[in-house]
Amino acid sequence: MKQKYMFVRVHYDKRVASLEPLGLEYLMACVKAEDREGFIYDESIESPIGRYSRLLKKIDNNGVTVAGFSVMSNTAWYVLKLIKFLRKKRPDVKIMVGGPEVVINHEDFLLDEVDYVSYDNGLDSFRLAVRNDMEIETLKKCSGISFRDENGNWVQNLKGEPVSDYGILPDRSHFYDNRDKFKVLAKGCFSMMKTAFSCPQNCKFCISRQFNSCAYRVRELDDVINEIVNLDNDKIFIIDDDFLVNKDRVKEFCERLLALGCHKTFMIFSRADSIVNCEDIMPLIYKAGIRDMLVGLEAVEDSTLEKYNKNSSVVINKNAVRILREHNMLCVGLFVINYDFKHKDFMNINKFIRDEGLIWVLFSILIPFKGTSVYEENKDRLYNYTYRRTGGTSVLMKPSSMPMLLFKLEFHFLYYVNYPRIYWAGITHMFNRKYRNNQ
């Protein structure tokens, strides 16, 4: 029987950014390429009222036979609730889970109400499974998938080799149909793109680097440039963990875009040391439209950066911020609040932001994600660790140097002090005025 697919992205906190579900758009591209039917149900852009009944309606109205859920650590609690409900109400619908949390900890999802668990590198085995409508004989040959055999016992297939491309482009019709619903705070509507997998660094708290079996791989520039040129949006968020890793690749990327007369605006993630390493090509980077960099500054003291194995320093961070300022590029500073912070550490972050003139900033209380060495090292210190509390705003270990309440207040204080500036930047359209590539 030809299966009909529904891929679900559950609701999340969209105050900072509402972005297209790129992972699910890749899955949809596979489904269409295999001549099967499916659609994305993006709860995040629907009304919060009647979520459970809407899910059932979508399934019934579209004859869905396989419902696939994308799971992040902080949304897993809700996805698990939703699939329990679905299993009870529609026992015949097969349930599949995938996404970042599943890729890292797939064993946690071998549950009664789940039929398929997907955690492979790349999409080849997913495509094979779709092509053969999830038949057990095919699933036995699919890497990175767990499923139940004829006797109902879980079979866990190993992940396949790391990949350097998905071999298919995302199907962006969901984005194009709903583009007015996707926006980044004070910046506008961005499309997302992936040009690389994993990260060559080894920060202790990081999940992203563990994707693709920790193997850093890049896509061919020809494919990347083609995707950019054909993308119907002039603002693009390249979600690679550090787009500036390889200076020669960045140079070629910029030169080729310029040669094609492509004038889009790019937001990227970059490490501070990569920015410093690329200082001499910053004018080229600017010209090509990369105007906005999210930089994991993390801390304002070397001792904390060392603890994270960040392989960087405060001097490098300051240099990176200066370089971006001197080249009229936006630096979004990402900071991590550590559990050994004292009052002065919170104040030092504020001082750093003021001294460096940063407008856009993001703060996250350190999340000891299951699957990282920070989690392993602090297992006995964890405090009320549940999926729901892994969104970056909850205290997950007892602060060692100040009372919990004060610690939380200091964290919220950072937002109260710094966010009015960002909202003001939005009201005055600062991003488009100052950073958009208008060439």
Nearer to ligand B12, 38 or 289 (CB): 38
Tell me: does residue 422 bind ligand SF4 (CB under 6 A): no
Phi and psi of 146, rounded to 5°? Answer: -110, 140
**Of 28, 185, 203, 239, which lies in the binding site for ligand B12, with binding defined by CB under 6 A?**
239
368 binds, among ligand SF4, ligand B12, none (CB under 5 to 8 A by kind): none
CA distance 315 to 100: 33
**Of 4, 87, 174, 209, which lies in the binding site for ligand SF4, with binding defined by CB under 6 A?**
209
CA distance 254 to 70: 33
Among 387, 343, 429, CA closest to 100:
387
CA distance 235 to 426: 16
Q: How many residues bind ligand B12 (CB under 6 A)?
A: 40
3-state class (DSSP) for residue 217: strand
Tell me: does residue 296 bind ligand B12 (CB under 6 A): no
Residue type (1 letter), 231: L
CA distance 386 to 109: 15
245 binds, among ligand B12, ligand SF4, none (CB under 5 to 8 A by kind): none
377 binds, among ligand SF4, ligand B12, none (CB under 5 to 8 A by kind): none
C-beta of residue 100 within 8 angstroms of C-beta of residue 127 = no
C-beta of residue 305 within 8 angstroms of C-beta of residue 198 = no
**Of 242, 273, 292, 410, which lies in the binding site for ligand SF4, with binding defined by CB under 6 A?**
242
Give the DSSP per-residue string, 69-112. Answer: EE--GGGHHHHHHHHHHHHHH-TTSEEEEESHHHHH-GGGG--T
98 binds, among ligand B12, ligand SF4, none (CB under 5 to 8 A by kind): ligand B12
Nearer to ligand B12, 246 or 390 (CB): 390
3-state class (DSSP) for residue 192: strand
Residue 334 corresponds to which tokens in the numbers above? Answer: 């990402």
We find the least distance from the C-beta atom of residue 320 to ligand SF4, in angstroms, to be 13
Q: Residues 87-106 vs ligand B12: string with x where CB under 6 A?
A: ---------xxxxxx-xx--
Tell me: does residue 401 bind ligand SF4 (CB under 6 A): no
Phi-psi region of 267 (alpha: psi -120 to 50; beta: other; left: phi over 0): beta
The secondary structure element, H or E, covering residue 252 is: helix 247-259
Alpha helices in 278-378 (DSSP H): 282-287, 302-307, 314-326, 343-356, 373-377
Nearer to ligand B12, 208 or 401 (CB): 208
Tell me: does residue 390 bind ligand SF4 (CB under 6 A): no
Tell me: does residue 174 bind ligand SF4 (CB under 6 A): no
Tell me: does residue 425 bind ligand B12 (CB under 6 A): no
Q: How many CB atoms lie within 10 A of CB 113?
A: 16
Alpha helices in 327-359 (DSSP H): 343-356
CA distance 16 to 27: 25
Q: Residues 115-154 vs ligand B12: string with x where CB under 6 A?
A: ---x----x--x----------------------------
Tell me: does residue 391 bind ligand B12 (CB under 6 A): yes
- Per-residue CA distances from 248 to 138, 281, 285 (Å): 42, 10, 12
Among the residue ranges 10-18, 91-99, 199-207, 339-347, the one whose residues contact ligand SF4 (CB under 6 A): 199-207
Site for ligand SF4 in 288-327 (CB under 6 A): 296
Tell me: does residue 17 bind ligand B12 (CB under 6 A): yes
Q: How many residues bind ligand SF4 (CB under 6 A)?
A: 11
Instruction: Summarize as ranges the residues that interact with ligand B12 (CB under 6 A).
Output: 7, 9, 12-13, 17, 19, 21-23, 26-27, 68-70, 72-75, 96-101, 103-104, 118, 123, 126, 192, 194, 206-208, 239, 241, 364, 369, 391-392
Instruction: Summarize as ranges the residues that interact with ligand SF4 (CB under 6 A).
Output: 199, 201-203, 206, 208-209, 241-242, 271, 296
